[in-house]
């Protein structure tokens, strides 16, 4: 049977239409003679009138072609198909009715034709439903057996959308509303959530879809916690905000993501803060193609700045982000989007960009952020995170733009790795620049920074990494049983960065409220269970996916911190705190930066680490060197495109110095 089904499915479309026409011809014959027999025509009359169905055959097929009956795909038959069938039957009866007065045939009397029309409609509908069941409905062992959590309008739309999806077979609804429990919707039973633990194994359910787009995150977490114990693959429909914004449709089913559960209830942004540094201004974002940079750009674009400058070193990332923004931009908006492909170490390009576009607000999100990678590429980490920040901040100072906001990280607090140390130096640069502005007595640029922990789903973070390992069947690797991290969703982080930067008066370290730290091993367990698997362990050897503990990678800490001290001042936003931390005066810092610069030119990794330790007292370089190119310095003749070099290859004095 399966082979025959596959043979029919692979037939060309024209052959499938011909089969439907032939099937309809048998339906016409059957309906015609049955209608005549119901009105008392004798056997002799029936036999003698075998030629009579010729007219109905021609008329029915012609009406079917005219009304588009044969253009409908069997697997997607719907109300429109039913209306076409009714139209074919009605039009055929109307066109056949004049035959009786002309030929005085008993077959074409009005009562016979009316019965013929009813039988014809029933026959055409039956053959199509039967064909749909034959082609579309797969065996239970092939389809994923599914229930929908939520018997409201969203759940009904999802069920209808899945009717023609051969991957799934919807077996019912689950709902907490006692008025709905025990009833049927679309012919499917509605169960109470309390009965799911018993019914899921009995009905061999493998998937459950949360069709509850408007519920709170707290309620969503409660429902998912209940479902996790059932070893079901939990999927969801988009959130209400995504649907209302037009970014998603209610029927777009996806795997439920850990972001849906760990994210907090959204705090509406303070509109004044959100618009203060963006609306009708020229805004520049470095690292515009990255996780945080791209989300900053999305939210900035929604406020309709005069110009949005996308500064990015990756051609692919810049191409994709520009294409997305051109597609999402409000046609009525007059915001100009300018993609700038370049490196922030290119001193002349950065300055020319700020001057040419007249930048008002600059969000500096460009950075190397992966701890083990930077630990093995010390020079690159210093160049990008320290010298790049120096270059961009110096340009902002020189041209006296309105605001400069550095996107920082919790790894800059008491760093144990090169990445964290370089980000802390970047913070010191911004703090020193702010002090220089204050000392000058002029208006100048308002320098500030925003520090927060990990964001969920960013490139290289544990969440997509765990997701890949689970999809491959495991094992899921965790560095240490006790390692913890702070997490925040990317949209929330970007929203708070924008508001924090607008509150700055100069030199502040804004710290975002990250909630409670999360144990990474617990995160891995939840992701395994949400995918519909069980955790394999010593106590559960029959489990599906094992969690394997490796060891902390070079430079990694068991836990991260957000502050150097406890002195945090509340701000106008409940999720943003403000701290004033110690910093170095600019002359002292500039001298150390110059030494770092020279060490980077010579690729002297040991000297770079030594200088980082001089700048940051808490930083102690690892005894073992991990740099992939070794730590021995070399003498570079010149680096024409490096920071601080002109076309002659001679060192320029920093204009910010």
Asked if 444 and 502 sit in the same domain, the reply is: yes
Asked if 416 and 309 sit in the same domain, the reply is: yes
Across all residues in the chain, what is the average pLDDT? 80
Asked if 316 and 213 sit in the same domain, the reply is: no
From 41-45, 210-214, 345-349, 611-615, the region with the lowest mean pLDDT:
41-45
Whether 36 maps to a domain, the answer reads yes
Q: What is the pLDDT of residues 487-509, one digit of tens each?
A: 778 888 898 899 999 998 888 88
Stronger pLDDT, 10 or 504, i.e. the higher one = 504
Please identify which of the residues 411, 557, 575, 609 carries the catalytic annotation. 411
Whether 89 maps to a domain, the answer reads yes
For residue 200, the tally of other CB atoms under 10 A from its CB is: 21
Stronger pLDDT, 411 or 103, i.e. the higher one = 411
Catalytic-residue membership of 347? no
Domain of 329, CATH number, reads: 3.40.50.720
Domain count, the chain: 3
pLDDT at 647: 39
Token digits of residue 15: 């052959």
Residue 164 pLDDT grade (very low, low, confident, very high; cuts 50, 70, 90): low
Asked if 239 and 276 sit in the same domain, the reply is: no
pLDDT at 389: 96
Cα dihedral sign, 187-188-189-191:
negative
Stronger pLDDT, 524 or 167, i.e. the higher one = 524
pLDDT at 80: 72
With beta carbons less than 8 A apart as the criterion, state whether 422 and 612 touch: yes
Give the residue carrying structure tokens 């055929």. 92
pLDDT at 293 over 80: yes
pLDDT at 649: 37
Beta carbons within 8 Å of 31's beta carbon, 6+ residues apart? 116, 119, 120, 122, 123
Most confident by average pLDDT, 43-52, 252-261, 269-278: 269-278
pLDDT at 541 over 90: no
Whether 132 maps to a domain, the answer reads yes
pLDDT at 330: 74
Asked if 129 and 150 sit in the same domain, the reply is: no
Asked if 313 and 424 sit in the same domain, the reply is: yes
Most confident by average pLDDT, 305-314, 471-480, 497-506: 305-314
Asked if 309 and 169 sit in the same domain, the reply is: no
Question: Which structural domain range is residue 247 located in?
Answer: 144-256
Asked if 244 and 124 sit in the same domain, the reply is: no
Domain termination residue (choose one: 579, 609, 627): 579
Q: Which of 352, 579, 546 is nearest to 452 (CA)?
A: 579
Whether 615 maps to a domain, the answer reads no
How far apart are alpha carbons 588 and 618 in whole angstroms? Answer: 18
pLDDT at 170: 86
Q: Which of 300, 444, 417 is nearest to 365 (CA)?
A: 300
pLDDT at 562: 62
Whether 178 maps to a domain, the answer reads yes
pLDDT at 643 over 90: no
List, in sequence order, the alpha helices (H) in 540-585. none
Whether 588 maps to a domain, the answer reads no
Residue 471 pLDDT grade (very low, low, confident, very high; cuts 50, 70, 90): confident
Q: What is the pLDDT of residues 215-254, one digit of tens each?
A: 777 788 888 888 877 778 888 877 655 655 555 565 567 7
Asked if 442 and 422 sit in the same domain, the reply is: yes
Percent residues over pLDDT 90 in the chain: 24
Whether 627 maps to a domain, the answer reads no
pLDDT at 604 over 50: yes
Most confident by average pLDDT, 38-47, 106-115, 541-550: 541-550
Asked if 393 and 422 sit in the same domain, the reply is: yes
pLDDT at 266 over 80: no
- Per-residue pLDDT averaged across 409-418, rounded? 87
Asked if 66 and 155 sit in the same domain, the reply is: no
Stronger pLDDT, 620 or 232, i.e. the higher one = 232
Whether 636 maps to a domain, the answer reads no
How far apart are alpha carbons 440 and 430 in whole angstroms? Answer: 15
Pairing of strands 535-536, 446-452: unpaired
pLDDT at 125: 79
Stronger pLDDT, 482 or 38, i.e. the higher one = 482
Distances (CA, A) of 541 to 318, 474, 480: 47, 14, 21
Token digits of residue 16: 């499938």
- Per-residue pLDDT averaged across 196-200, rounded? 84
Asked if 504 and 402 sit in the same domain, the reply is: yes
Domain termination residue (choose one: 579, 613, 631): 579
Domain termination residue (choose one: 112, 136, 160): 136
């Amino acid at each position: 049977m399966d082979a025959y089904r596959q043979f029919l499915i692979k037939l060309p479309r024209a052959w499938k239409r011909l089969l439907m026409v032939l099937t309809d011809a048998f339906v016409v014959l059957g309906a015609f003679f049955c209608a005549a027999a119901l009105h008392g025509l004798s056997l002799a009359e029936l036999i003698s009138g075998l030629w009579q169905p010729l007219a109905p055959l021609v008329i029915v097929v012609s009406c079917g072609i005219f009304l588009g009956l044969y253009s409908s795909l069997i697997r997607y038959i719907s109300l429109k198909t039913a209306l076409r069938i009714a139209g074919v039957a009605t039009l055929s009866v109307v066109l056949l009715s004049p035959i009786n007065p002309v030929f005085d045939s008993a077959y074409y009397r009005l009562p016979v034709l009316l019965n013929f029309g009813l039988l014809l409609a029933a026959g055409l509908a039956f053959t199509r439903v039967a064909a749909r069941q034959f082609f579309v409905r797969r065996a239970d062992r092939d389809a994923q057996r599914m229930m929908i959590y939520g018997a409201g309008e969203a759940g009904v739309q999802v069920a209808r959308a899945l009717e023609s999806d051969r991957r799934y077979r919807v077996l019912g609804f689950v709902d907490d509303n006692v008025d709905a429990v025990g009833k049927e919707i679309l012919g499917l039973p509605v169960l109470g959530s309390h009965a799911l633990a018993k019914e899921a194994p009995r009905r061999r359910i493998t998937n459950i879809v949360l069709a509850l787009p408007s519920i709170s995150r707290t309620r969503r977490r409660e429902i998912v916690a209940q479902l996790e114990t059932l070893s079901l693959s939990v999927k969801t429909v988009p959130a209400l905000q995504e649907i209302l914004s037009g970014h998603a449709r209610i029927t777009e089913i996806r795997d439920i993501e850990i972001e849906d559960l760990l994210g907090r209830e959204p705090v509406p942004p303070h509109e004044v803060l959100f618009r203060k540094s963006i609306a009708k201004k020229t805004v520049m974002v470095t690292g515009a193609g990255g996780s945080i940079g791209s989300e900053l750009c999305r939210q900035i674009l929604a406020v309709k700045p005069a110009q949005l400058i996308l500064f990015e070193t990756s051609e692919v990332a810049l191409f994709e982000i520009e294409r997305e923004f051109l597609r999402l931009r409000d046609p009525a908006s007059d915001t100009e989007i300018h993609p700038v492909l370049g490196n922030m170490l290119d001193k002349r390009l950065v300055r020319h960009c700020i001057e040419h576009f007249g930048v008002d607000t600059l969000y500096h999100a460009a950075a190397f952020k992966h701890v083990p990678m930077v630990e093995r590429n010390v020079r690159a980490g210093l160049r990008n995170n320290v010298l790049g920040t120096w270059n961009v901040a110096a340009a902002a100072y020189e041209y006296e733009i309105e605001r400069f906001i550095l996107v920082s990280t919790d790894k800059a607090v008491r760093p144990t790795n090169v990445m964290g140390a370089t980000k802390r130096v970047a913070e010191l640069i911004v703090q020193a620049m702010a002090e220089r502005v204050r000392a000058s007595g002029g208006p100048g640029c308002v320098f500030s920074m925003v520090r927060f922990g990990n964001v969920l789903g960013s490139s290289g973070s544990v969440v997509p990494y765990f997701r890949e390992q689970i999809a491959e069947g495991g094992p899921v690797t965790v560095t240490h049983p006790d390692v913890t991290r702070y997490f925040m969703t990317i949209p929330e982080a970007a929203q708070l960065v924008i508001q924090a930067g607008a509150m700055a008066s100069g030199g502040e370290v804004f710290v975002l409220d990250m909630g409670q730290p999360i144990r990474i091993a617990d995160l891995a367990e939840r992701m395994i269970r949400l995918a519909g698997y069980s955790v394999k362990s010593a106590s559960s050897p029959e489990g599906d996916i094992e969690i394997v503990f490796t060891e902390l990678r070079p430079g990694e800490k068991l836990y991260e911190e957000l502050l150097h001290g406890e002195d945090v001042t509340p701000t106008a936003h409940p999720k943003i705190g403000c701290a004033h931390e110690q910093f170095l005066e600019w002359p002292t810092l500039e001298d150390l930066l110059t030494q770092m610069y020279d060490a980077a030119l010579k690729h002297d990794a040991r000297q770079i680490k030594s200088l980082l330790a001089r700048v940051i007292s808490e930083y102690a370089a690892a005894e073992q060197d991990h740099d992939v190119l070794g730590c021995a310095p070399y003498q570079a003749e010149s680096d024409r495109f490096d920071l601080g070099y002109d076309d002659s290859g001679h060192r320029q004095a920093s204009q910010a110095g």
